[in-house]
Structure 1
């Protein structure tokens, strides 16, 4: 090891060349990942697999990757309370994006068409921290396996710890940024929830769709590592799994998505997809306290911006009214920290919200396509 370090310092030209190559690779990965970003999700998906209503989700296989589809993600958020009496929120996401169709035997090594990207966020009432990791598939730096379940990029991990009947029942979660980190344990006390028709989730009047399910029942414990010190936390977590090849219509360029935990024990997933040529498309799933889920199609859910905050030079709606007349739900969402901006390759707003009104509680809000990507 000493000889290697000595050689590294002895040859500055070699060192500069290696660093330049790494920087070029990082830039390439960011560009390719960004090309598959929010607006790019409406581009043609020729050669990739497409979701089907006839597909029955199967486990544990569908907890793992689907390389014949263009994009998918493992996306976890948690609303947390600290032993210091303060509220916090965390996000952990692993994206897999294919730059070309991959059929048959997976391509190994640097020729793999799979790009992996990790996002991590930590929100406090006064600050928001974010970090990003990029990796090429095929070299072991990032990936996911179904059983025993594990998803990773570099030293970030979401992995089954072996308890329960499903691979997602108990998870260990970790991420580290330049100025924050977290280590959490998650234990599910409810079933998986399928959105749309048994996990076939329609996204537009034209029929674009994804396969989409969630585990919204995590009880979370662990530790946040902040510049001011460690904080022990407890709370509720929500894991989303989704994959597709063209989940948006060509005219859709962003979405507003919520996952809400109500004090009653009920839960709600809902989104609106904004369309620059027409009205937004909405979808929702009402999850009753007993675990039963009801899919609600376009128009059932109303998401209305109430107030905006200037964030990173853009006007971002950080206060919302959410209405679901079928469930006599009328609530307002207020951001814990209106400046919860994810400064990543394709930036977006994401953070915890407090819920007041007919069904008080707390949840998470994600908004994409605002400001420059």
Structure 2
């Protein structure tokens, strides 16, 4: 494809994405057809730090950080920082001919406000990208960077800003990376749709928020997700509800439900305080909505009950701000939650595809 034609195609796609929200599956819909891209296979052999970088032979990929924070006065705050890569074709090309589309979402949330910003970029010209060593992920002046001497994702600096708000945070990992599913191969459907999926769930956070009412010093916990695929969902799956939870005593839990009009696909990962991970099979977790919130024309399940009988776990999650709607070009709900029940804690909830 000539470079000028590729440039025009990419710019047209970016303009269309800015004007027309994607419905149905949120950003999952970017990867419903594989279209010649590579597919995840069982028994992956990850190589780090290489795999912290991009995988252009796969269609979609993201670097995703959420953090539950407290101010010195005890106020709840949450932040999100996400960089997405979506490819138009599986063959990489230099410069304007690159098929890579980059977009990013950032948010800062408290009980009284949910602040959102979005960036878009194209590949091949340095405006956005990821390098594995030294680790750096960026789009314009939004940055997630590693520290000299640290092992790739062990220590990170994170920054983003919206119109009247900003944050600058330091993250220090207190445990190992966690591979989800079967050694990082995360099956999404019995017909074989899957992704490669791992996390760093154990960051301690310090830093400063530029909250609209003034600067705030904060501390807390963060969770980073890394995932890539080419066809993560089946045609009968309409979106997901995903939880990352920090429980009292140091345990952590990742659970998601892929909705299909029935019981859905509901796997998870239990992470012990020492970082050991145990996959929880589909069918072993009970996930049910408790309360709903009306946001515009949408009605979303913003409070949930999670039961894992094998762990004696029965908890409820409640949002810090029930109106944490990401009104971005690809819309979804994402915000911090509080946990009560047989265990207390904090965490994040993401919901896509609730039209």
Normalising by the residue count of structure 1, what TM-score does the alignment of the two structures yield? 0.89
Structure 1 residues 149, 34: CA separation in 2 closer, same or farther (over 3 Å shift)? farther
Select the structure with the greater relative contact order (CA < 8 A; seq sep ≥ 6). Answer: 2
Q: Which has the larger radius of gyration?
A: 1
Deviation of 1:356 (Å): 0.2
Structure 1 residues 66, 30: CA separation in 2 closer, same or farther (over 3 Å shift)? farther
Q: Secondary structure at the match of 2:29?
A: helix
Match of 1:223 among 201, 208, 229: 208
Alignment of 1:192 onto 2:177 = yes
Counterpart residue number, 1:120: 106
Deviation of 1:41 (Å): 4.5
Aligned 8 A contact 1:29 1:115 in 2 = no
Correspondence list, 1:187-336, <5 A: 187-276=172-261, 278-336=262-320
Deviation of 1:38 (Å): 3.6
Aligned 8 A contact 1:64 1:144 in 2 = yes
Counterpart residue number, 1:172: 157
Q: Secondary structure at the match of 1:279?
A: coil
Counterpart residue number, 2:5: none
Tell me, in whole angstroms, the C-alpha distance in 2 between the residues paired with 1:57 and 1:33.
Answer: 34
| Backbone CA RMSD of aligned residues | 1.8
Tell me, in whole angstroms, the C-alpha distance in 2 between the residues paired with 1:179 and 1:23.
Answer: 28
Counterpart residue number, 1:158: 144
Deviation of 1:52 (Å): 0.7
Alignment of 1:79 onto 2:68 = yes
Where do 5+ consecutive residues of structure 1 fail to align? 1-21
For each residue in 1:327-348, what CA deviation from the matched residue of structure 2 results, as whole angstroms up to 9, or x when unmatched? 1110000000000000101110
How many residues matched?
A: 345
Tell me, in whole angstroms, the C-alpha distance in 1 between the residues paired with 2:47 and 2:31.
Answer: 27
Deviation of 1:289 (Å): 1.2
Normalising by the residue count of structure 2, what TM-score does the alignment of the two structures yield? 0.93
Q: Secondary structure at the match of 1:332?
A: strand
Where do 5+ consecutive residues of structure 2 fail to align? 1-9
Tell me, in whole angstroms, the C-alpha distance in 1 between the residues paired with 2:77 and 2:353.
Answer: 25
